[in-house]
Chains A and B, each alone.
Chain A
Amino acid sequence: MTLTALLIYKGILVLAVFAITLLVATYSTYAERKIAAFLQDRIGPDRAGPFGILQPLADAVKMFMKEEMIPSVSNKTLFILGPSIAMLTACLTGVVIPWGSSLTINGTVYPLQITDLNIGILYLFGVISLGVYGIMIGGWSSNNKYSLLGGIRASSQMISYEVAMGLAIIALVMTTGTLSMKEIAAQQHGWHWNAFIQPLGCLIFIICAFAETNRAPFDLPECETELVGGYHTEYSSMKLGFFLFAEYINMFISSAVISTFYFGGYNMPFIGRFVHDPNVLAILGVVFLFMKISFFIFFFMWVRWTLPRFRYDQLMRLGWQILIPLSILNIVITGFVMYFNGSLN
């Protein structure tokens, strides 16, 4: 591929990933309302379009039309910067996720991944660790006690769970032997899903993903019974929309990462027996990945509308006294098993 063709192809891919991310996040809001309604034996939104399918559009119009309020005592630059950073870091992670294997058209290979970084996992982890800035800056610059408390809760929660998440990833890196997301996805061909090799690491990773996205039962930062609205108390209009939307994008990306790390990514067992054309297989792979992602998004919502919120001391105890020792234990067990079955050589 020439450089120009490569740039055009990558540009199209970036735009496609961006558009799909926004679309999925938009319809996640609709799905959340419908699932909440289903779990609570209600009907849910049904006025905008058939089955309320246009509800996200109506919400977006409402968000844009609302009056823009910036508190006079707040720090204006940082107040606007907060939701922008939240949105930016949420959109950055889609770059390293392998959305499919690769298409071969006229002898040219088109990989369905924007870039295969040598250190893909570390990039992902770095962007996740930056995600806390949006909430902290937003919470502090509002100049409101509830916002500040929400921001501080969010940051301490995210720092605490990042440790356990990193340790769970280390055990995964030990068994896969690579930091590249593409290779991790390719290694899980057939039934070789990492969830069976690393069951404990998988569980820890999923719990930490809930905490990192601030979803229930870890939604302490926006706990409305104690903190009014948490870190976004003072926000209105589309800036509030950005904070809420960033949460849904994070949920989508977390689901994609969980599917890629532990549940085979774009691989589907036994499909190689029925389909032999590699291009059709690649496109089916994308479909399978999105099916897995949809399941995990549903799982996120299912948990949210089933479990009550943790108390703050319970949250900290779970993070530091249960998950971190468990993930260290997981690393030790992984090391022993790898040593004794000789896979280290």
Chain B
Amino acid sequence: MTTYLFYFLSFLAIMFALMVVLSKNPIHSVLYLVLTFFAIAGHYVLLNAQFLAAVHIIVYAGAIMVLFLFVIMLLNLNKDTEPHKSLWLKGSAAVASGSLLVILVGSLRGAEQIIASNPYSNSIGLIENLGQTLFKDFLLPFEVASILLLGAMVGAVMLGKKSIK
């Protein structure tokens, strides 16, 4: 049952991701990206990571993509205003992203032989375990990441200010 669900969700994720790239209208692209995020959140639920799935939806679909949509609607991007790239630029972009794909696939090759250090338990992605891990084993990286986000926020506010007193 879960295998079929996995294949179904993977099919949806890949199809929507392709539609993001292929659709002409930027608004449609953003909406397809939201659907892709939903398919990926479904994968998290299949892996028993409910917290991650919920946060993924809240942060990406609920906040970041709304801002994307917001900007695109304000700028009113259309097919006509989109600048046309030359052929060699398209070709080099295809080569660059193709080689990135090869590297990603290569790095994942043999991943199925790695044995997990913790035996699988069905409560592994629940919030209690996640909190214990984040605040005991990975406290320093967690706090450093929060400072990084704070720095980015302060930087954005400074850039947005008209004049610095």
Q: Across the interface, which residues of A come within 8 angstroms of B127, CB to CB?
A: 118-119, 179
Complexed CA–CA distance, A78 and B28 (Å): 9
CB < 8 Å: which of A118, A136, A162, A179 contacts B69?
A136
Give the shortest distance, in Å, between B157 (CB) and chain A (any CB). Answer: 11
Main secondary structure, interface of A, reads helix
Distance in Å from the Cβ of B4 to the closest Cβ of chain A?
A: 18
Q: Is the CB of B54 within 8 A of A129?
A: no
Q: Are B58 and A129 in contact (CB under 8 A)?
A: yes
Give the residues from 148 to 175 in chain A that come closer than 8 angstroms, CB to CB, to chain B.
148, 151-152, 155-156, 159, 162
Q: Is the CB of B66 within 8 A of A132?
A: yes
A299→B55 CA distance, assembly (Å): 31
Complex Cα distance A148/B69, Å? 12
Known: A155-B69, A159-B63, A159-B66. A123 touches B27 (CB 8 A): no
Measured between alpha carbons, how far is A136 from B71 in the docked complex, in Å?
Answer: 12
**Beta-carbon contacts of B57-79 to A below 8 Å, as 1s and 0s?**
11001110011011001100000
B70 adjacent to A156 (CB under 8 Å)? yes
The docked-state distance in angstroms from the alpha carbon of A162 to that of B57 is: 14
B36 adjacent to chain A (CB < 8 Å): no
A333 within 8 A of B: no
Q: What sequence of 0s and 1s flags, for each residue 110-141 of chain A, a beta carbon within 8 Å of any chain B beta carbon?
A: 00000001110011011011101100110010
**What residues of B have a CB within 8 angstroms of the CB of A133 in the complex?**
34, 66, 69
Report chain A residues within 8 Å CB of B158: none
Residue total for B at the interface (Cβ-Cβ under 8 A): 20
Within 8 A of A (CB), among B72-126: 73-74, 126
Q: Given known contacts A129-B63, A130-B61, A140-B27, is B70 in contact with A155 (CB within 8 Å)?
A: yes
B154 to chain A, nearest CB (A): 15
Contact of B126 among A118, A125, A137, A159 (CB under 8 A): A118
Give bound CA distance, A122 to B52, whole Å.
Answer: 10
- Chain B residues lying within 8 Å of A119, measured Cβ to Cβ, are 50-51, 54, 127
The answer to whether B63 touches A151 (Cβ under 8 A) is: no
**Given A129-B61, A130-B61, A140-B73, 10 further pairs, Cβ under 8 A:** A119-B50, A119-B54, A119-B127, A122-B51, A123-B54, A136-B66, A140-B27, A148-B73, A159-B66, A162-B62
Residues of B within 8 A of A (CB): 27, 31, 34, 50-51, 54-55, 57-58, 61-63, 66-67, 69-70, 73-74, 126-127
**A: which residues have CB within 8 A of B?**
75, 78, 117-119, 122-123, 125-126, 128-130, 132-133, 136-137, 140, 148, 151-152, 155-156, 159, 162, 179
11 contacts between A and B (CB under 8 A): A75-B27, A118-B50, A128-B62, A129-B62, A130-B61, A130-B62, A132-B62, A151-B73, A155-B70, A156-B70, A159-B63
